Amino acid sequence: MALPLYIITLILSSSLLFFVQPMVGKMILPLLGGTPAVWNTCMVFFQACLLAGYAYAHGSGAWLGARKQAWLHLTLLAVPLLVLPIGFGADVSPPASGNPVLWLLVQLTLCAGLPFFVVSASAPLLQKWFAQTGHPSAKDPYFLYAASNVGSLGALLGYPLLVEPNMALGAQTTAWSVGYGLLVVAFICCAIALWRSKSSIATPDAALDSSPRVSMGWPRRLHWIILAAVPSSLMLGVTTHVTTNVAAVPLLWVVPLAIYLLTFIMVFAARPPISHRAMVQSFPFVVVVLGLLFFAPPQELGWYVIPIHLGAFFVAAMVCHGELARCRPGTQHLTEYYLWMSFGGVLGGLFNAIVAPLTFNSIAEYPLAVVAACMLMPRTSATPPSRLKSQDSRLRSQVSRLRSQVSLLDFAMPLGVGLIALAIVTGLKMSAVPLTWLSLMAVFFIPAFLSFQFKESPIRFGLAIGVVLLVTAFYAESGSGDVLAIERNFFGVKKVMFSPDGRTRLLAHGTTNHGSQAVDAAMQDEPLAYFHRRGPLGDVFKTIADEGSRRPVGIIGLGVGSIAAYASPNQQFTYYEIDPAVEVMARNETFFTFLSKCRGTVDVVLGDGRLTIARAPDKHFGLIILDAFSSDAIPTHLLSLEAMNVYLSKLADDGLLAFHISNGFLNLEPVVARLADQAHLACISRSDRGVRRDELADGQLAAHYVVMSRIPERLAALESKPRWHRCETSKDVPVWTDQYCDILGVLRLPQPGTEPAHMAQRPPPREPSREDDSGELKVR
């Protein structure tokens, strides 16, 4: 009975660990604007707690022995019962300025730190206990790690698919508390099984392990740490890439994490379903394909590119975790092995969540992790070693081989590949070849093909791929305008830059244009991009101006302050902006002058838009505009029914509520129309799925707006204008709430000949249109 009991307890504990992560992330997300950094910071916190739990399991076992450790752990299990259920205080509010990472870590510690720490010790602790039960399988208990990850994977996938749609957060925390109580009971049973075992009495400090007793050198520990750190960094890099332009929701959080866990399950299985050699052999091919996608505009490729990134991450994690599994020690070092593995995971998370934002002014950590994974790849020609044969001798021989094989050629040949790539770039520039997909592929694929020939030399291959990525990035950036200022903080990367033709200055957040202003002084009062006077928002303000209304306007999302150009004299415009860096850039008159030259009164309130506008007087605004984006993604908590109730409470009875819902990945009009129907509002929409060449030359970009009102007659004048139409409401579209947002039902798949709703910060590289005799690039 010992084996089923331990398996059940491990599955229950791991399920609780990975159920609480998306649950807590969902609790905190609305306070910090839906940025992907929220989940990355949460992951660092949970990895740090996991490290603390593994350190406790290792240290207490070495100090007390298994029998006394069981008494200690049962006592510790009782403490979190005093602080459950998990939850944040009602008055919790993030700082209005500065980096909120420290504040977030403190809140996570207060909210979930103690329960998560106690549960996180379960995997190494239970495996160590089982190794001392005398069971026939106790000699190699690592298969239990795979069982533990099965529970983790089940909880991760079950949360967005089953729990989130059907249970409110309050019910979720209650369910987690009940599960924790069951875990306490299961641990008591496991402790009893341990105490009754004769082997645990005979050998209280060591497992019955037939593998050779070997010393634990630092090269071995460092190897474990690096093999664990790189996939951890890759996981957060992929998550940031996926959620930046789509949406920060639990479903998109858990998929990379589920893949991460799946690789652990597969490599630690008694019989791995995919051979390690096959993964190693396929990885160089995957890297070459993935490399070009770093430069592909996500709005152009849509959802199709996401599975490629996830698939590449799966192969990379299988390679690194496969090596980690092959290097595992005997059971006498089991808890130490998990401790260093966890430490590596924390280092990878810290690099992405804290070090990279402070060090890089772009999202460089993702390609850097790919390069590191290349360098960790074993040689496919190497003979697979046996784990039970003198592992220290094997590691020493590997280190010795590495020292002898690393030569100047490992640095000279990647440098030569880089020079070839630079020669191609120089040739294209001198020939005045425009930046197109064909030229971009020439710069990348020819040197990448040469790099591929080094796949049997991991260091040479990794460095060569890194150089190719660097040169290709230089070439891709050369097609955009000059950068005037750049800043990366918790909320992402912001650039102030000239457009490629030099006629406008724009603010790019991630991959998306967040507003622009003409360089020509005569045109600087004109709102451009998605706020153009000929666009949907121009129609809205023209209608209001015709009515003679000068009531206050509330705007969630600042950008460059373009909407302030519509203010009438003495009219009050109040912006609600979560990112302090955006306000600094918008107020810098060297870059933009919409705020400083506004004819009305402009206030900027820092903080999450939904929370800060809630402090405005009731019925205060004649118009509220939702224009909040994180790169191309609209924070989903701003599109929920609860958010709608906040907006309506601040809107005058005859006021207008406008949603800017341009998005290249999600068709949000049915979602907003469903909210309007739920609130009994009239609702109309205008979607500019494309702009003419003359409109583009005038600074206009395609935009999609939905406008609603309590009084249908208030929309009559606007509806009479071209391209406006009544929104159709479908009962098949669920109402988005704080509890659940169904993004799968509103996917926008790219179709040939159609325009993405939200424009990239620069035109995607494309061949000149045959219809355009001037040779000017057509913008998608």
> How far is CA 340 from each of CA 51, 207, 334, 437, rounded to the nearest angstrom?
8, 19, 10, 44
Task: Identify which has the larger pLDDT, 477 or 404.
Answer: 477
Q: Which residue has the tokens 């808890």?
A: 335
DSSP helix/strand/coil, 200 = helix
- Rounded to 10°, the helix 437-452/276-293 angle is 150
Task: Identify which has the larger pLDDT, 771 or 489.
Answer: 489
Q: Is the pLDDT of residue 430 over 80?
A: yes
What pLDDT sits at residue 210? 44
pTM here?
Answer: 0.79
Least confident of 37-51, 498-512, 741-755: 741-755
Q: What tens digit of pLDDT does each residue of 707-738 get? A: 999 999 999 999 999 999 999 887 778 888 87
DSSP helix/strand/coil, 145 = helix
State the burial class of residue 617 (Cβ atoms within 10 Å of its Cβ: 0-12, 13-18, 19+).
exposed
Q: Which of 634, 669, 485 is nearest to 557 (CA)?
A: 634
Which phi and psi (to 5°) does residue 633 adopt?
-100, 135
pLDDT interval class at 779 (50, 70, 90): very low
What pLDDT sits at residue 297? 60
512-518 and 504-509 as β-strands: parallel, antiparallel, unpaired? antiparallel
What pLDDT sits at residue 381? 56
Least confident of 127-141, 321-335, 498-512, 630-644: 127-141
DSSP helix/strand/coil, 634 = coil
Residues 54-81 have a mean pLDDT of 86
Q: Is the pLDDT of residue 449 over 80?
A: yes
Most confident of 201-215, 573-587, 762-776: 573-587
Residues 562-578 have a mean pLDDT of 93
Residues 683-706 have a mean pLDDT of 86
The answer to whether 584 touches 618, Cβ cutoff 8 Å, is: no
State the first-to-last Cα distance of the chain, in angstroms, to the nearest integer: 63
DSSP helix/strand/coil, 662 = coil
**Residues 75, 76, 77, 82, Cα dihedral to 10°:** 100
- For the stretch 265-270, contacts whose Cβ atoms lie closer than 8 Å and that sit 24 or more positions apart, written own/partner, are 265/146, 265/149, 265/150, 265/153, 266/146, 266/318, 267/318, 267/321, 267/322, 267/324, 267/325, 268/142, 268/143, 268/145, 268/146, 268/149, 268/325, 269/143, 269/146, 270/143, 270/146
Q: What tens digit of pLDDT does each residue of 344-356 get? A: 989 998 898 888 8
What pLDDT sits at residue 651? 96
3-class SS letters over 666-713: ECCHHHHHHHHHHCCCEEEEEECCCCCHHHHHCCECCCEEEEEECCHH
Cα–Cα dist 630/472, whole Å: 26
Q: How many other CB atoms are there within 10 angstroms of residue 218's CB atom? A: 8
Q: What tens digit of pLDDT does each residue of 298-326 get? A: 555 556 778 888 999 999 999 999 988 88
What pLDDT sits at residue 207? 40
The answer to whether 708 touches 639, Cβ cutoff 8 Å, is: no
What pLDDT sits at residue 761? 37
Mean pLDDT (the chain) is 81
Least confident of 36-50, 170-184, 361-375: 36-50
What pLDDT sits at residue 396? 53
Which phi and psi (to 5°) does residue 513 adopt?
-70, 120
What pLDDT sits at residue 753? 37
Q: Which of 137, 153, 220 is nearest to 17 (CA)?
A: 153
704-709 and 682-687 as β-strands: parallel, antiparallel, unpaired? antiparallel
pLDDT interval class at 765 (50, 70, 90): very low
Task: Identify which has the larger pLDDT, 403 or 87.
Answer: 87
Cα–Cα dist 780/778, whole Å: 7
What pLDDT sits at residue 205? 42
Q: Is the pLDDT of residue 662 over 90?
A: no
Q: Is the pLDDT of residue 689 over 80?
A: no
Least confident of 75-84, 235-244, 246-255, 504-513: 246-255
Task: Identify which has the larger pLDDT, 46 or 3.
Answer: 46
DSSP helix/strand/coil, 626 = strand
> How far is CA 63 from each of CA 55, 66, 192, rounded to the nearest angstrom?
12, 9, 20
What pLDDT sits at residue 383? 45
Question: Which DSSP helix (H) or strand (E) runs through 191?
Answer: helix 169-196
What pLDDT sits at residue 554? 96
Length of the chain: 780
| Tokens standing for residue 755 | 């325009």
Cα 174–178–179 angle (5° rounding)? 115
| Tokens standing for residue 401 | 């081989």
Cis omega (within 30 of 0) for bond into 756: no
Residues 136-156 have a mean pLDDT of 75
Q: Which amino acid is at 425?
A: V
pLDDT interval class at 778 (50, 70, 90): very low
Question: Which DSSP helix (H) or strand (E) runs through 251?
Answer: helix 250-267
What pLDDT sits at residue 247? 59
Question: Cβ neighbours of residue 91 under 8 Å, at least 6 residues apart?
Answer: none
Q: Is the pLDDT of residue 199 over 60?
A: no
What pLDDT sits at residue 314? 95
| Tokens standing for residue 699 | 């600074």
Q: What tens digit of pLDDT does each residue of 450-462 get? A: 888 888 888 899 9
| Tokens standing for residue 452 | 């591929």
Beta bridge partners of 708: 657, 683
Beta bridge partners of 499: none
Q: Is the pLDDT of residue 178 over 60?
A: yes
| Tokens standing for residue 171 | 């019910």
Q: How many other CB atoms are there within 10 angstroms of residue 95's CB atom? A: 13
Which phi and psi (to 5°) does residue 346 adopt?
-65, -40
State the burial class of residue 385 (Cβ atoms within 10 Å of its Cβ: 0-12, 13-18, 19+).
middle
| Tokens standing for residue 712 | 């249908």
Beta bridge partners of 685: 706, 725
What pLDDT sits at residue 537? 94
Cα–Cα dist 285/288, whole Å: 5
Least confident of 99-103, 248-252, 487-491, 502-506: 248-252
Task: Identify which has the larger pLDDT, 659 or 688.
Answer: 659
DSSP 440: H
Q: Which of 262, 265, 241 is nearest to 253 (CA)?
A: 241
What pLDDT sits at residue 428? 84
Cα–Cα dist 228/232, whole Å: 7
Cα–Cα dist 95/422, whole Å: 45
Cα–Cα dist 195/548, whole Å: 83
Q: What tens digit of pLDDT does each residue of 379-419 get? A: 765 544 444 344 445 555 555 555 545 678 878 888 988 89
Residues 129-144 have a mean pLDDT of 71
What is the side-by-side order of every strand in the sheet holding 601-606?
A: 601-606, 572-577, 553-556, 621-626, 651-660, 704-709, 682-687, 725-726
What pLDDT sits at residue 233? 93
Q: Is the pLDDT of residue 251 over 60?
A: yes
* Exposure class string for 98-136: b at 16+ Cβ within 10 A, else e: ebbbebbbebbeebbbbbbbbbbbbbbbbbbbbbbbebe
